Chains A and B, each alone.
Chain A
Amino acid sequence: MTLVVGLIFLLTAVFLILPVVTTVLMAFDSRDYLGPFPPQGLSLQWFDKLWDEQYLWAGFYTSLIVASAATLISSIVGTLAAVAMSRMTGAARDVLSSLFLSPLIVPGVIIGFALLMLFSALGIGSPLTRLIAGHLVITIPYSIRMALIGLLGVKSSLREAALSLGANEIQAFLTINFPLAKSSIAAGAVFAFAFSLDDLAISLFLSDFNTFTLPVALVGLLRSSFDLTIAAAAVGLMGVTLILLLVLDRTVGLDRVVGLSVDKA
C-alpha cells in the first residue's frame, strides 16, 4: 500500500518537475539550432540573445507595469470588498463570494474578446489602461478570496475586545483585523501578480503593436523565430519568481503566503 502511494507520489513529482528541468537544461544548449533533448554541450548563447531581444524586453516592461498596477488596485479593492463580506451572514456571503469568483470560470479568450468590444464601445483607446483593466477582471477574484480567508480567520471577539477597550471601528480594523489578515492579503497579491504576469488569453486581445505583455511577445517570437531564446526567457522568469518568493518569505513568511496557516498569524 505504502509502496503504491510512494510510487504515485514519485510519478506525480517527476511529471511536475520534468518539464522545468528540461527547459532549464535546454536554455543552456550550445547548439545554435533547436536540437533534440538532451543538449550535447553547454553555453550561454541563448541568454546573450535574450539580452539583446528588445521585443521581449518591451513585453517584460509592459508586463511589470500592468502586473504591478493590477496587483495594487486589486489588493485594495479586494480587501475592501472582503471587509464588507466578512461582516455578512453566511448565506449572503456565499452568494457574493461565488459571484466575485465567476470571472475565473469564463474562458480567458471570451473575457478578452468581450473586453475588447466593451473598450471599443466606451472609447478607451490606451492599451495600457485596457490591459490593466482587463487583468483586474482575473486578479480581483483572487484578492477578494484570499483577503476574505484572512479576515474570516480573525475571531470576532478580537474586534469586540478592541472596541470594548476604546478603539473605534476604524482603529480596531487597522490595529487588529488588518495586521492579522495581512499575510493572506499579501498571498492574494502574490497570486494576482503571478496570474497577471502569466495571462495570455486576455492580453492577446487587448495588446497592440506597440504595447504588449511578455507572454504575448513570447508567442510572437515563437511564431517568427522558433529557437531557444524562449527557454532562456523562461529561466529568467523563474529567477524573478524565486527572488519574489524569497523576499516574501523574509517579510511575511512563505508558509503564510501559501495559506497553510492563515489562522495562526
Chain B
Amino acid sequence: MNVLELKRVSKSYGSFLAVDDVSLTIEKGAILSLLGPSGCGKTTTLRMIAGFTAPNSGSVIINGSDVGHLKPYDRNVGLVFQDYALFPHMTVFQNVAYGMKYRGIAASEIPARVARMLGLVRLGSMEGRYPRELSGGQQQRVALARALATDPQVVLLDEPLSALDAKLRLELRLELKEILRSVEATTIVVTHDQEEALSLGDEVVVMRDGRIAQRGSPTAIYNDPADRFVAEFVGRSNWFNAGNWRDAANGFVNYESVAGISICGQAKPNTSGKVDLCIRPENIDVLAAGEPATMDENTMPGTVVDVAPLGADVHIVIDIDHGPRVLAIQKSGSQRTSFGVGQSVRIGFSPADVLVF
C-alpha cells in the first residue's frame, strides 16, 4: 500500500518552475532517495510533503487522504533537518519529548517513550545533555529520535549526513539505515550526494530541473541510466562524442569516434544523428603498449597523466591520443597499476560496457 503519493505536483516561484508535474509513490516501510543537484526541486518537493510550501497544482496524499491544505502541525510527518534544528535551550530529553505532548501522548507515558527512542539511537545516557554538549553525530541521532518519537506516517531526511566528516558519515549511514528499517519507517531521503542516495535508498529518484529524470533501484540507476544527465550525475564516467554508427553485427555496432577510431558498442534502437558514448572508469583496463587486448575489446593508445593510489583502488588518468582525457580505476595489486607518468599505454574496454545515449 502506498503511504505517500504525489499526484502531478507543480510549484513555481514567479517564472521559475521549481517542481514540474512530479508524480511519486512510496510504499509502507520503504526508503526512497530523492537525488539531484541543487536547484533540481528536491528540497521544494520535501517542503511540500512536510506542509511548509503549498503546491500550485496537484495533490499530496498521505495514507489515502489529501493533506495539501493541512498545516505542518496537522500532518504527521517527521523531519530531520540538514542542520538538525535541535532546540538549543532544551535538553536531549526535552527535545525528543517535544512533539509527544502535541501529538496527544499521555504525560505519564512520555519518559518511557523518550527512553525507548534514545535507546534506539544508542544515546540512552545522554538525556540530560544540551545539544551543544553533543558531537555532530550524536546531534544527528537526537534529531532522528525526535523525528521518530511521534510515530510519523512519513519521515523526511534533508541531506542528513552532509554536515558530518567523511568517516563518521559512513558509520552513521549504516546506522541510519538500520534504525529506519527496524522501525519500518516510510522514509524519503533528500540528498545531492549520490553515494548517500544509492546506499540508503531501496529506490532512487533522480531529479533534474524540477522533473523526475529516472526512478529505479540503485543498481539500475548506475548500470542503466536513462540519459546522459543521470549517467553523469551518478558515479564517474568517461565520454566519447561519436558520429553515426555503421557495420552492425551481433547486436553491436561501430560508432565513429572523434579520435578517428571506431568504438564498438551496443546498438541503440532508432539511432539517428550523433550519439554520446559513456564508459564507467572501473570498466576500463589499462594495458602496456605491447600487451595484447582481448579479441573483441575496444582499444585506444594514450599517455599516462597521473597515477593516484587510493587504497583499494588506483585511479589512472590517461590522455587518449587525439582524443579526450579518461579516468580508469584499477584494483590495487593488479598488474595493471604499475605505470609511470608519461608512459605510453593503451586502454581497453568491452563493447558490452559502452553506454549509448
**Chain A residues at the B interface, C-beta cutoff of 8 Å:** 155, 157-158, 160-168, 171, 175-176, 179-180, 264-265
Contacts and interface: CB of A to CB of B under 8 A. Distances in A.
B87 A161 contact: yes
Nearest to B79: A164
Given A176-B87, A265-B89, A162 B98 contact: yes
A166 B52 contact: no
Given A161-B81, A166-B73, A176-B87, 9 more contacts: A158-B87, A160-B72, A160-B85, A161-B79, A161-B87, A161-B146, A163-B52, A165-B99, A167-B73
Contacts of B52: 160, 163
A176 to B, nearest CB: 6
Contact of A165 (B71, B83, B150): B150
Given A171-B102, A265-B88, A163 B83 contact: no
Interface residues of B, number: 25
Contact of B102 (A166, A176, A264, A265): A166
A180 B85 contact: no
A166 B153 CA distance: 13
Interface string B144-179: 001100100000000000000000000000000000
Given A179-B89, A265-B89, A164 B73 contact: yes
Contact of A166 (B81, B88, B89, B99): B99
Interface of B: 50-52, 71-73, 76-79, 81-83, 85-89, 98-99, 102-103, 146-147, 150
A167 B89 contact: no
B321 to A, nearest CB: 53
Q: Which 9 A-B pairs have the closest CB atoms?
A: A166-B102, A165-B99, A157-B85, A161-B85, A163-B72, A164-B79, A157-B81, A166-B103, A166-B73
A264 B76 CA distance: 30
Contact of B150 (A160, A162, A163, A166): A166
Contacts of B79: 160-161, 164
8 contacts: A155-B83, A160-B50, A161-B81, A161-B86, A165-B98, A165-B146, A166-B76, A180-B89
Nearest to B103: A166
Main secondary structure of the interface of A (DSSP, over half): helix
Nearest to A164: B79
Contacts, number: 64
A161 B94 CA distance: 14
A163 B102 CA distance: 10
Contacts of B146: 161, 165
Contacts of B50: 160, 164
Contacts of B71: 163, 168
B81 A160 contact: yes
A158 B85 contact: yes
Contacts of B81: 157, 160-161
B83 A157 contact: yes
Contacts of A164: 50-51, 72-73, 77-79, 99, 147
A158 to B, nearest CB: 5
A168 B87 contact: no
A157 B143 CA distance: 12
Contacts of B51: 163-164
A161 B79 CA distance: 7
Nearest to B83: A157
Given A160-B81, A161-B81, A167 B102 contact: yes
Contacts of B82: 157
A168 B103 CA distance: 11
Nearest to B156: A164
A160 B156 CA distance: 13
Contacts of A264: 88
Nearest to A166: B102
A104 to B, nearest CB: 31
Contacts of B88: 180, 264-265
Contacts of B150: 165-166
A38 B51 CA distance: 71
Nearest to B105: A166
B251 to A, nearest CB: 52
A161 B146 CA distance: 10
A167 B87 CA distance: 13
A171 B103 CA distance: 13
A91 to B, nearest CB: 15
B50 to A, nearest CB: 6
